[in-house]
Structure 1
Amino acid sequence: MKWSTSPHRPPHLYVDDAWYFITASTVNATKILSTDTHLDLWVETSKELALQFKIKLVSWVILPNHYHILFMPARADEIGSFMKRLNGSTSRKLNLIDNQLGRSVWYSYYDTCMRNEHDFWTRFNYIHCNPVKHGYVDDPEEWRFSSYSFYLRDDGNQWLADYEKEFPIYDLFDDDKF
Structure 2
Amino acid sequence: MTDYRRTLVPGATYFFTVNLADRRATLLVDHIDLLRDAIRYVRRRHPFDIDAMVVLPDHLHAILTLPSGDADFPLRWRLIKTWFSRHLPHGEHRRASRIEKGERGIWQRRYWEHLIRDEIDFARHVDYIHWNPVKHGHVARVVDWPYSTFHRFVRDGVLTKDWGNGGDDASFGERQ
Q: TM-score range by the shorter chain?
A: 0.7 to 0.9
Distance 1:156 1:51 in 2: 27
Residues 64-116 of structure 1: CA deviation (Å, up to 9, x unaligned): 1110110111244311100100111112222x2x5449531110211100111
Q: How many residues in Structure 1 have an aligned counterpart in Structure 2?
A: 162
Q: TM-score, normalised by structure 1?
A: 0.77
Higher share of residues assigned helix: 1
Answer whether contact 1:57 1:69 (CA < 8 A) is retained.
Answer: yes
Shift of 1:150: 1.3
1:23 has 2:17 as partner: yes
Answer whether contact 2:29 2:55 (CA < 8 A) is retained.
Answer: no
Equivalent residue in structure 1 for 2:35, among 37, 42, 60 = 42
> Residue 170 of structure 1 corresponds to which residue in structure 2?
173
Distance 1:53 1:160 in 2: 35
Cα distance change on mapping 1:151 and 1:85 into 2, 3 Å: same
> Residue 55 of structure 2 corresponds to which residue in structure 1?
62
1:106 has 2:99 as partner: no
Shift of 1:16: 1.5
Shift of 1:51: 3.7
> Residue 65 of structure 2 corresponds to which residue in structure 1?
72
Residue segments in structure 1 that go unaligned for 5+ positions in a row: 1-6
Answer whether contact 2:127 2:173 (CA < 8 A) is retained.
Answer: no
Shift of 1:157: 4.0
Distance 2:37 2:162 in 1: 24
Distance 1:131 1:9 in 2: 33
Answer whether contact 2:51 2:63 (CA < 8 A) is retained.
Answer: yes
Query: What is the root-mean-square deviation in Å for CA atoms of aligned residues?
Result: 3.0
Equivalent residue in structure 1 for 2:75, among 72, 81, 85 = 81
Other structure's SS at 2:76 match: helix
Q: TM-score, normalised by structure 2?
A: 0.77
Distance 1:133 1:170 in 2: 11
Distance 2:141 2:63 in 1: 20
Equivalent residue in structure 2 for 1:52, among 42, 45, 48 = 45
